A = this chain, B = another copy of it.
Amino acid sequence: MANRHYRRAVEADLPELVRLLADDELGSRRELREAEDQRPFRDAFHEIDSDPNQYLLVVEEDGALIGMLQLTFISGLARGGLKRGQIEAVRIARHRRSAGVGQAMVEWAISRCRDEGCGLVQLTTDRSRTDAHRFYERLGFEPSHVGYKLNL
Interface residues of A (CB under 8 A from B): 17-18, 21, 27, 30-31, 33-34, 40-41, 43-45, 47-48, 51, 53-54, 56, 70, 72, 74-83, 86, 88-89, 110, 113-114, 118-127, 133, 136-137, 139-152
Q: Which of B41, B43, B54, B149 contacts A142 (CB 8 A)?
A: B149
Chain B hits for A51, CB < 8 A: 53, 75
Residue pair A123, B148 in contact (C-beta under 8 Å): yes
Known pairs A31-B78, A77-B18, A77-B45; A150 contacts B139 (CB<8 A)? yes
Residue pair A152, B21 in contact (C-beta under 8 Å): no
Known pairs A21-B78, A41-B77, A43-B81; A122 contacts B147 (CB<8 A)? yes
Q: Could you tell me the distance in whole angstroms from the C-beta of A23 to the nearest C-beta in chain B?
A: 13
Residue pair A144, B123 in contact (C-beta under 8 Å): no
12 contacts between A and B (CB under 8 A): A31-B79, A31-B80, A34-B81, A44-B76, A47-B83, A54-B74, A78-B88, A120-B152, A123-B148, A125-B145, A139-B150, A147-B147
